[in-house]
Amino acid sequence: MKTLKAGTRLKSAVCDAEVMVVKAGAGEVDLRCGGAEMLAMADAKPADGQLDAALAGGTLVGKRYTDGAETIELLCTKGGKGSLALNGEALVVKQAKALPSSD
């Protein structure tokens, strides 16, 4: 469990994925990628880290990921094989807001 703040960079323990926190909610959260807890950039990856096959949907570089309530927003800075999850809930790619028509 970690307390996140905007600007924090994290990396996956089981794949190449890296993210930056754009928006963070209050309190501690359990942020995972590929089933393993995300690590600070300075932390070493465990040698025995295994990607959970059920959480191997992948992350795409340049995409923003958020939860259903949009309490957190992550920007993927390096893609990987693992899927992102917050407190057990899968994060989804944030969709662009529709612009009003110019008619």
Is residue 50 predicted with pLDDT exceeding 70? yes
Return phi, psi of residue 78, to 5°: -150, 125
Domain range for 60? 2-93
Does residue 20 sit within a domain? yes
90-102 pLDDT, tens digit each = 999 988 888 888 7
Does residue 101 sit within a domain? no
SS3 90: strand
Does residue 78 sit within a domain? yes
> Which pLDDT does position 103 carry in this prediction?
64
- Residue 62 is encoded by which pair of tokens? 């340049």
Does residue 6 sit within a domain? yes
Whether residue 81 contacts residue 12, with contact meaning beta carbons closer than 8 Å, is answered with no
Query: What's the number of domains the chain is made of?
Result: 1
| Average confidence (pLDDT) over 74-89 | 93
Whether residue 74 contacts residue 32, with contact meaning beta carbons closer than 8 Å, is answered with no
SS3 53: helix
Does residue 10 sit within a domain? yes
Does residue 103 sit within a domain? no
Does residue 99 sit within a domain? no
Is residue 27 predicted with pLDDT exceeding 70? yes
Instruction: Tell me which amino acid residue 10 is.
Output: L
Return phi, psi of residue 5, to 5°: -140, 155
Does residue 16 sit within a domain? yes
